[in-house]
Each structure stands twice: as structure tokens, then as C-alpha cells.
Amino acid sequence: MQLWLIPFLPLAGAAINGLTGRKTSKTVQSAVAIGSVLLSFLWVVKTLMALMPLEERYVEHYFTWIASGALTVGVDFAIDRLTAVMLGVVTGIGTLIHIYATGYMHEEEGYYRFFAYLNLFMFFMLILVLGGNFLLLFVGWEGVGLCSYLLIGFYFLKKSASDAGKKAFIVNRIGDFGFSLAMFLIVVTFGSLDFPTVFAKAQALPVEESAGIITAICLLLLVGATGKSAQIPLYVWLPDAMEGPTPVSALIHAATMVTAGVYMCSRSAALFMKAPIAMETVAIIGLATAVLAATIGLVQNDIKKVYAYSTVSQLGYMFLAVGLGAFSAGIYHLVTHAFFKALLFLGAGSVIHACHHEQDMRHMGGLRKKIPHTFNVLLIGALAIAGFPLMSGWFSKEDILGAAHHHHVWMYWVAWVTAGMTAFYVFRSIFLTFFGEYKGHAHPHESPWSMIGPLYVLAILSVVGGYIFPIPHILEPVFKGIVPEGHMEHSMADMILGTSPGIIGIFLAYVVYVAKPGMADSIKESFSGVYTLLYNKYFVDEIYDATLVHPIERTSRSFLWKIVDMGIIDNGFVHGFSGGALNFGSLLRRMQSGEVRNYAAWTVVGVVAILSALTVFGGSR
């Protein structure tokens, strides 16, 4: 089926734009960038058509990459229904965002560089989802991290942007360290990295032998996932990542890359199901992240920051689902979230574009009349994320809430409150941006059709994505035999209870920000302590700085730099060796007297020395 074409096409696009971008026109660059991703999407569609109904895993083996002792790792691309879903999301939404980006980035410097990076990201993301073993997944995993770094720091002349890029890269390093340890443990335990082999061996291991080691593997995988998918304690990089251009925030930091952790955990469902402690940890981390990020999102003023914390919160929701064993619900939310969060980000990008790069919502307001198309689509996105009945987000959130209700009732209520907060902060952003009076100084203008078009497509998907992609049903063959089949009864009362937080949140936001505009400030004043805490993101960045970053920096400066690097490596080795060679050379120089007879005497001394050595030690006979 030539699966390799799927990632190769964006790679070719990246190569063409990256190498020839200086000389080609923007039209050509856009055509290459969009074309390569669109072709990849079409190839995915064609492949899936041909492989229908894809009940079994389909593998293509290209070559053996590593053969070392008993361990063999091949470059294998595999496709099953989980991968198929991810492929559809990545290439489909990727195409839309590429089209949008041609409009959004049109006036920017380094247009071709942007698209080269973006296509390279697509390549690595597709490797990540297509990889048939942990190592290939890790290649993609690292590659998307690199592209994320490059794109966050796209405006590298801005200090905050390059700092944010570095922060994302370094924080992810911690997670990736956990992931690599997990892989080493998998190799040691199972002797393979291929998904089917590992999972089959894990299933075959008796519980008393396997429980400890599989729990360790799963917890280490979780460390990797918390880095990439922005969960506690490593979520701090994602809000800063908003320094990147908005299409990047939509594609990488909302729809695709950050969901890689959820994908990886679902892919490893067979391992996680054998490790109940790890599952519990995943659920608790997910839930805690969801709550924490949602509360921060309530008070942020930067429109992209609101959506960034919203993303962290929704990713927490997905991890909650994964931790509860409702993997398909997690993936379901991943897909619908990809639709509506990409829509929200791109819509926010359109707002920012309209307001001439103003991101502070306090300087917006009343934009409903000025940019009606953007308003329409953003409203749909907000309804979808709030879980308004029959929108896409409603289906997936219901599934997750149902799973939570099934396992721990307290988790259900925490998730319920979080859903209410989600609705509140999203509609807060809508009301602040589009209602009331315009408070800025720019002249807002509607964005071009290359931006509005993709927004409408995403809006349609956000509305109907829940029906037309019934993910839990699609994924049944993937998790059959791994996750116990349990029928979750959805009674009418449950459904109404699950829907209510969204409605209540929207209503409260309407009361606070539209009906009684002064109310927000009075609430802020009466709870100023809480407000300060939330506004400053619980001071987590400051705590990390004080407890981790500064001590490490100080140790690096005073010990690693001054003593190890300058003292031992520079003075000890580098200068030591060169100085030694210099001194030895000046000794040898004295032999060079220039007198022939002197040289001859040295020759005689040498011959005598060699001959006597031969006489004493017997020579080579």
C-alpha cells in the first residue's frame, strides 16, 4: 500500500521549501506546502479505502534498522484503526491549518522557513502514529519536539519567543528521559520493541511476576506522556508555547502533537491494563491537570493563554479517560478536541489578525459586527468545547463523564465542575471579545477567505464530528480483549446531569460579562487573594524557578562551568595536552644543531642502541 508515501510527501515538501525557498515566490511555496500535505491526506484516504474494514493490523516492513544480539528493530509502518483515526486527524486538520496559515503568515518574514518547519512537523507526526514499534514512535516523538521548538521560537529575534522554545525543549527532555528509560525496561523485560510482540508477552506473563515491572514501565511511559502532553508536573511549557505563530498553536499545541501522549498511552493499553496502580496515577494526574488548568484559564486576559490552559485542561480530561480504562473515550475526545480546539485557536488567530496583533481581550470587545464570520465560527467552537448538546464535544465529554461515574463518583463530580469551568472561561473569552463596546484603537477587518474557509470546515466538523466519527465504535476491534467490555448505561437523567455544567457555565459567563458588566470586577475585588493566585498561575513557574531552575543554574555556573569545564577540561586536558606537546617540542629542538656531524653522531647512537637492544632481547627470530 506504500504507507511510506504518507510521511514522505510532507518531508519532500519540507525539503523543497527549505532548500529552494529563497528563490521561489510565495505562491509556489504555498502550493508546495499545501500540496504535499493534501496529497498525503488523499493518500491516507485511498489507503483506508483499500484496507477497509481494517479489523486486523496491517504492517509494511521496509528494512531492519538495528540488529544487535537478540534485539531486532525494523523500520515498520503499521496501520490499525487507532492509527487510522490519528492519520485522519493529523493529515486532515493539518491540511486545513496549512491553508489557513498561507493567509495568516502572508505578511511575515521567513514565509518559506515557516512552511518548511510545518511540513517537517507533519512528517515526524506521521512517523509517530505510523511507527510499528516503540523506537520508531520515539523517533517521531523526538522529531515533533524538535519542530515544536523551531516553531515556538519562529520569531527568534524576540527574546520571549526563543526562551519559550528553549523551555518547551528542555521540559520535554525530562519527559523523554522517562520515555527512553521505559523503552530500555521494555527491551530488558520483553526483548523486543515491536508493539504486538511486547503486548503478547505482557499478556502472557503471570500477574505475580509482571505487576512490578509493568507498573514501572507504565509509570515511566507516563512521565514521557506528561512532558509531551503537558500534564502535571511538566505542563508549564505549553502556555509559554503560545509565543509561536497561531497556526502552530492550533496544529502542534492543540490538535496533534500534544495529544501524542494520549495516543501513546492508548497504544500501550495492553500494558496499562496490567498495571492498575499506573492507571490510577494516570487518572489522578489527568484530573488534577484538568482542574488546575481550568481554574487558571478562568482569569487569563490573553486570548491565546485562555485557550492554552483550556488545551492543558482538556488533555487532562483525555488522560482521565485513559486512566479509567476508557481508552476509546480518550481518543474520542482527542478527535473532537482536535476539531474544536483547532477551530478556537484559528479563530483566535483571526481575531488577533483582525486587531493587528492585539492579544489582550481587555482591548477587544464588540467585534461581533466587525468580523462576523470569525464570530460565527468561534461561537460554534465555544459551544462544542462547552459540551452543548449534540455538538461534537458533548459526545466525547459524556463518554468520559460516564466512565468517571462508573469508577469513582468523586472523580465524576470533580470532572463535572471542571466541565462547568470550561464552559465559563470559553464563553468569557467570547463575550469579552465580541460583545460590548470595542475598546481597542486598531481598525478591525475581516480575515481573507484562505483563513475563513478552513474555519468553516472546522466549524462543520465541530458540530457534526461527534456523529460522523463514532470513535468508540470504530475503535472496538483495537481494544477488544484488552479492555473488558462493559456497557455503560446512559439514562436520561445522567445525560441531563452531564450536560448541565456546560449550560450553567455559559449562563454564568453571560450573567457576569454581558448582563451585569460590573460584576466581574466586584467578584475580583471580593476574592482578590484567589484572583491573584489564579492570575499568577499558582506561582508554579516561580516555584519551579526557585526550587529547580535556579539551583541547577547556580550549580552549573559555579561547579560545572568554573570547576569541571574551565578547571578540569580546559586547563587539565586541552591546555595540558597542548602545553605538554609544546614543552616536549622545545626539548627536542635542542637536538637540531644544524651540524651534519652532530646528526651523524645521533644516528650512530641510535644504531648502537637498537643493536644492543636486539642483542639483549634476542631480536626477531
> Of the two residues 160 and 603, which places its CB atom closer to another protein in the complex?
603
Rounded distance between C-alpha atoms, residue 388 and residue 569, angstroms: 62
> Of the two residues 22 and 597, which places its CB atom closer to another protein in the complex?
597
Rounded distance between C-alpha atoms, residue 332 and residue 186, angstroms: 28
Rounded distance between C-alpha atoms, residue 440 and residue 363, angstroms: 5
604: contact with another protein by CB under 8 A: yes
601: contact with another protein by CB under 8 A: yes
Q: How far is the CB of 609 from another protein (least distance, A)?
A: 15
CB 12 within 8 A of CB 120: no
> Of the two residues 204 and 596, which places its CB atom closer to another protein in the complex?
596
CB 321 within 8 A of CB 352: no
CB 483 within 8 A of CB 327: yes
- Strands 71-79, 58-68: parallel, antiparallel or unpaired by DSSP? antiparallel
Q: Identify the H or E element spanning 58.
A: strand 58-68
Q: How far is the CB of 589 from another protein (least distance, A)?
A: 6
441: contact with another protein by CB under 8 A: no
Whose cell is 467585534? That residue is 367
Q: How far is the CB of 595 from another protein (least distance, A)?
A: 5
Distance of CA 567 to the CA centre of its chain: 39
> Of the two residues 487 and 597, which places its CB atom closer to another protein in the complex?
597
Q: Binders of another protein among 467-526, rule CB under 8 A? A: none
Q: Binders of another protein among 581-600, rule CB under 8 A? A: 589, 592-597, 600
Rounded distance between C-alpha atoms, residue 416 and residue 497, angstroms: 9
621: contact with another protein by CB under 8 A: no
CB 199 within 8 A of CB 223: no
The CA-based angle 172-176-182, given to 5 degrees, is 155
Q: How far is the CB of 580 from another protein (least distance, A)?
A: 21
> Of the two residues 523 and 605, which places its CB atom closer to another protein in the complex?
605
Dihedral angle sign, alpha carbons of residues 417, 420, 426, 432: negative
> Of the two residues 473 and 597, which places its CB atom closer to another protein in the complex?
597
Whose cell is 466587525? That residue is 370
> Of the two residues 543 and 604, which places its CB atom closer to another protein in the complex?
604
Q: Binders of another protein among 533-592, rule CB under 8 A? A: 589, 592
Q: How far is the CB of 566 from another protein (least distance, A)?
A: 35
Q: How far is the CB of 587 from another protein (least distance, A)?
A: 13
Q: How many residues bind another protein (CB under 8 A)?
A: 10
611: contact with another protein by CB under 8 A: no
Distance of CA 462 to the CA centre of its chain: 21
Q: How far is the CB of 579 from another protein (least distance, A)?
A: 20
Q: How far is the CB of 576 from another protein (least distance, A)?
A: 26
Supply 292's cell numbers.
488546575
For the chain, give the number of residues.
621
Q: How far is the CB of 613 from another protein (least distance, A)?
A: 19
Three-state DSSP at 488 gives coil
Q: How far is the CB of 575 from another protein (least distance, A)?
A: 25
Rounded distance between C-alpha atoms, residue 466 and residue 377, angstroms: 17
> Of the two residues 69 and 585, which places its CB atom closer to another protein in the complex?
585
End-to-end C-alpha distance for the chain, whole angstroms: 67
Rounded distance between C-alpha atoms, residue 603 and residue 597, angstroms: 10
> Of the two residues 68 and 586, which places its CB atom closer to another protein in the complex?
586
> Of the two residues 492 and 587, which places its CB atom closer to another protein in the complex?
587
How many other CB atoms sit within 10 Å of the CB of residue 484? Answer: 8
Contact residues for another protein, defined by CB under 8 A? 589, 592-597, 600-601, 604
